[in-house]
């Protein structure tokens, strides 16, 4: 019967992995070699094992939650938040959000201030 054969192979594999027996036959030898390849090279501490288990459970919990409960990005269309986007150079955009209205003059001043800050070099501390 197939069930008894599988049970016998599993029992032999278990004995081989525990070191109580040598593999008999190519099927068990292949499985024992695969199990040996998957065995960690150094012992795993119980602390590391519990951290890995906790991380695995957190990930399983996160994946099982529906996507609707996922954190949503901040809604900038809220009437209390004013947002503007300015072109600050080649391939560079500047997004500004504030609770106060942002007019063109203020946006230009902010962009100039940031460009000046980015253009500064670090002071030489070795002098």
87 and 47 part of one domain: no
Alpha-carbon dihedral sign for residues 60, 63, 64, 69: positive
26 found inside a domain: yes
Average pLDDT value over all residues in the chain: 78
The stretch 70-88 carries a mean pLDDT of 69
126 found inside a domain: no
Residue-wise pLDDT for 90-112, tens only, equals 777 888 888 788 888 888 888 88
What is the model's pTM? 0.32
Assess whether pLDDT exceeds 80 at residue 26: yes
11 and 48 part of one domain: yes
57 and 98 part of one domain: no
pLDDT of residue 1: 44
55 and 103 part of one domain: no
58 and 95 part of one domain: no
Q: Which residues contact 86 (CB under 8 A, 6 or more apart)?
A: 93, 94, 96, 107, 108, 110, 111
14 and 50 part of one domain: yes
The stretch 31-57 carries a mean pLDDT of 82
pLDDT of residue 6: 74
The stretch 4-10 carries a mean pLDDT of 78
93 found inside a domain: yes
DSSP character at residue 85: E
42 and 95 part of one domain: no
Domain that holds residue 115: 82-119
Q: pLDDT-based confidence at 125, cuts 50/70/90? A: low
Q: Count how many domains the chain has.
A: 2
Assess whether pLDDT exceeds 60 at residue 70: no
pLDDT of residue 27: 85
Rounded Cα gap, residues 34 and 74, in angstroms: 49
Rounded Cα gap, residues 100 and 106, in angstroms: 11
The answer to whether 82 and 102 have CB atoms below 8 angstroms apart is yes
């Amino acid at each position: 019967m197939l069930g008894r054969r599988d049970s016998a192979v599993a029992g032999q594999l278990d004995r081989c992995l525990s070191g109580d027996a040598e593999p008999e036959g190519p099927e068990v030898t292949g499985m024992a070699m695969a199990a040996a390849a998957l065995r960690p090279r150094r012992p795993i501490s119980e602390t590391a094992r519990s951290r890995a288990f906790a991380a695995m459970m957190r990930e399983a919990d996160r994946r099982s939650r529906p996507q609707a409960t996922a954190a949503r990005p901040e809604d900038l269309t809220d009437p209390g938040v004013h947002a503007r986007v300015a072109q600050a150079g080649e391939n560079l955009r500047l997004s500004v959000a504030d609770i106060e209205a942002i007019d063109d003059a203020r946006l230009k001043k902010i962009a100039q201030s940031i460009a000046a800050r980015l253009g500064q070099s670090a002071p030489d501390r070795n002098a």
